[in-house]
Chains A and B, each alone.
Chain A
């Protein structure tokens, strides 16, 4: 059971959150992509074994969606290596 730091609420147990999976980039404009690129953006995932960014919805508290960096092997949560804040969405 993970402990997740919410920038609004502090460190909270995993049960307050819902995991929304890998932090995929914001939805691209479909008109700007080829069909193959669009299909790949929809379905493909990096599915990284190791450190990756993922989104959690703090549904049973503040309601915000945060991005955290978690190692998918050890489950350790670390500060964002790229320095982004948890509530920022990186394009």
Chain B
């Protein structure tokens, strides 16, 4: 036994033992353990394998800076759980990741035999012949950490908004100080900490604060304006002071696994502490070698002594605290400090408390494979010795955790000589750093710095943060007079000095990158993958910069730093999505008749802009095609009814309404009489069709404009921009009224007979209600507004009624229509009918390239208006490019031969450039054969010609005809 649980100490609950399994071993921990601390307590040192070379690995850090992942088989199967932050659960079963059969006996470790062939970027230099695809599966299989289980745990998550005057990141000494003064000033405060409770370093370093942290936390807890989040990590600092926070197992919601907060903060105090960094040395990745702060944290948080014969290897004062704590807990401790004179009388004091000091010494290499057994030591006088040990606790200095400040892009990081690391500046008034996050390490000073930061934060809000009574703390050993040592150079080539454990990157890799010319820090990192592993460079980043400086002879601060991006810690996708689901984000729009359609067996699908509309209403035994044909025939021969509710509808009102329509439509609208409508094509100013529709003049200064269903939002934005930006002096307003009205469109030769049977209280004769006319009145008691428009090539009456009368109107129509064999009609039949009639459709013929002339609508273009949107561009383009694709009808030689919509037309059907395409193809009920529409280069001048659609390897000959197959003179429509 070397690592062991102590009888006392730590925050674990020894009265609640938890049995668990790891890699097939039955083990036991306590409530309050993490998976990592429990494994340590059981003296399981080898807990994983490295990413690339499968070297044995143990815990190196005690928090997010560690990289050991495990898979949890039960309960709630999930992979890539960071062991140092995953709470131990009763009867849980864990396995190491990317090992077989387990971490101890891992077969993948053979990779180490070939490690010489696997330097940084080895794959760029080989595996080219015959091709990478041959080798890739093996590399892919070897890479990756855990396997995603099936079925996998799906955490229950929510996302939530929050806001506060002051958000404090971290509940260590600085954060508590900041939060308390801010809260006492009356500001609303959120205090976010990723631990189970407050204290931060006060707890993990076992600093006696006389209960100050707990008292402060308790006081904050009682204040109504304060919200405390534990087990919560701020992971992103976004624009306009929006911060995202992942909260695990929220205290207030036992049924919730994860909560993702989006918090808008007035001010932010970043008191996120600091990360200790290593001094990499040869084989310094062996299990049993860890950061001094990790050994200290396991001791004070979990009551686990990580080793009995400890070497503490340091270049700064902070490790003395670790050395003394380990000694006090019963370990034999040797402190190897690279500084020849690490502070006067310290040696005697250390000796008095059980720590042997080796001043000016250096650890050169670790000995032992699956666990450190000894280190090779160089004394100050140069003597080498082998020193047995089972724990090496390393401290190479501390890196302030200013990641969040860096994410804002406002903070600049600068080199700090005494601390031998980068520190960041405050932000431009929105945030400040406090305590260790800005390089102030002594706990008492951290509290004072936090209070100052809190006071400064509330001052910007016009409040005064009171001074608080801070205790005197005994915290003499913090990182100061750091003697930078970025790595201990290996004594023999081939000895591996790991600088980034999670990416398996060695100093030799960095040297290789530099040698090959990848000499800017970003290139070094990308070439070697340093900082790209699961810890995202939290422990190794500054060392990488330091080593690059050392190898290139540059000052460290000139090598540069790197920008930190979100997330600060990895965040579950389920938490980010929260309750957001596509179905909730983009709910379907239903007309008031949806239930009616469904009761009729309608097959519904999207008609644009998320509107659900009937595609067809199949009878028993009928497929979609047959149903659509039957419905279309009913319209041609009798009468059909369809639900036109989703069509975009806008009321345009004001003295300048006519001018607006004249500006946005290609035709003349100013002259339209009250009570009449006009079909119009709307173009964007670049001369391409945006939408088509009909506008009716309800009164002198009031119009109702219809857009196609899918273009309604675009049309709305377009009109608003014209009114508010381009013609702000015009007196006109627009009001979307799409959902105010429900619709029943009667179409077919019997439509007027049916309407008559509905007993209108208004004149429906051809003279009184002609094509493009309108009427208002009642059908029985139901108020209606009737428009004569057609998209089917038949006489058509659009009955519009306030949405609340929708079902009543339809029931009435169906009852009165029974003698006429009225048939409900869906979009599919509509498509057949409009193709037969040669009407254009957005998304088919209007494909973003056509102009009105191309589609045979040249006659609609106003001859008198000097200007309308799109005119100038259209005319310019037509002048430069006369060889336009024009709308034509197409008849396959074989009348039963369908052509897929979208099929290209090419000269002779050859596999060459396109001269057009088939935009729509249906089986016509009027002609009892297949017909098609298409856009064809110079199409109108090619009537009668045979052209060819190329459908993969088939050539389909098509005869070019006029693009109207039914009611060419529009007599039926106008009847």
Contact = CB atoms under 8 A, between A and B. Distances in A.
Interface of A: 1-3, 18, 20, 26-27, 29-31, 35, 38-39, 42-43, 55, 57, 59, 63-65, 74-77, 89
A37 B476 CA distance: 73
A31 B867 contact: yes
A57 B720 contact: yes
Contacts of B242: 1
Contacts of A59: 717
24 contacts: A1-B262, A26-B725, A29-B867, A30-B867, A30-B871, A30-B872, A31-B867, A35-B876, A38-B873, A38-B876, A39-B873, A39-B876, A42-B873, A43-B686, A57-B717, A57-B721, A59-B717, A63-B720, A65-B725, A74-B409, A75-B239, A75-B240, A77-B240, A89-B725
B724 interface: yes
Contacts of A26: 725-726
A89 B720 CA distance: 14
B967 interface: no
B728 interface: yes
Contact of A64 (B262, B409, B410, B724): B724
Contacts of B717: 18, 20, 57, 59
Interface of B: 238-240, 242, 262, 264, 409-410, 685-686, 717, 720-721, 724-726, 728, 866-867, 871-873, 876
Contacts of B728: 89
B685 A27 contact: yes
Given A38-B873, A74-B409, A2 B239 contact: yes
A30 B867 CA distance: 8
A1 to B, nearest CB: 5
Contacts of A55: 721, 725
Contacts of A77: 240
A73 B717 CA distance: 26
B240 A3 contact: yes
Contacts of A29: 867
B880 to A, nearest CB: 9
Given A20-B721, A74-B239, 10 more contacts: A1-B239, A1-B242, A1-B262, A2-B240, A31-B867, A64-B724, A65-B724, A75-B239, A76-B239, A89-B724
A76 to B, nearest CB: 8
A18 B264 CA distance: 21
Contacts of A35: 876
A26 B726 CA distance: 5
Nearest to A63: B720
A43 to B, nearest CB: 7
B405 to A, nearest CB: 14
Contacts of A3: 240, 264
Contacts of A2: 239-240
A31 B866 contact: yes
Contacts of B264: 3
Nearest to B262: A1
A65 B720 contact: yes
Nearest to B871: A30
A28 to B, nearest CB: 10
A65 B721 contact: yes
8 closest residue pairs by CB, A with B: A30-B872, A75-B239, A65-B724, A27-B726, A3-B240, A26-B726, A1-B242, A42-B686
A77 to B, nearest CB: 8
A89 B721 CA distance: 11
Contacts of B872: 30, 38
A27 B721 CA distance: 11
Contacts of A31: 866-867
Contacts of B873: 38-39, 42
Contacts of B410: 74
A27 B685 CA distance: 9
B238 A1 contact: yes
A52 to B, nearest CB: 16
B685 A42 contact: yes
Contacts of B686: 42-43
A39 B687 CA distance: 11
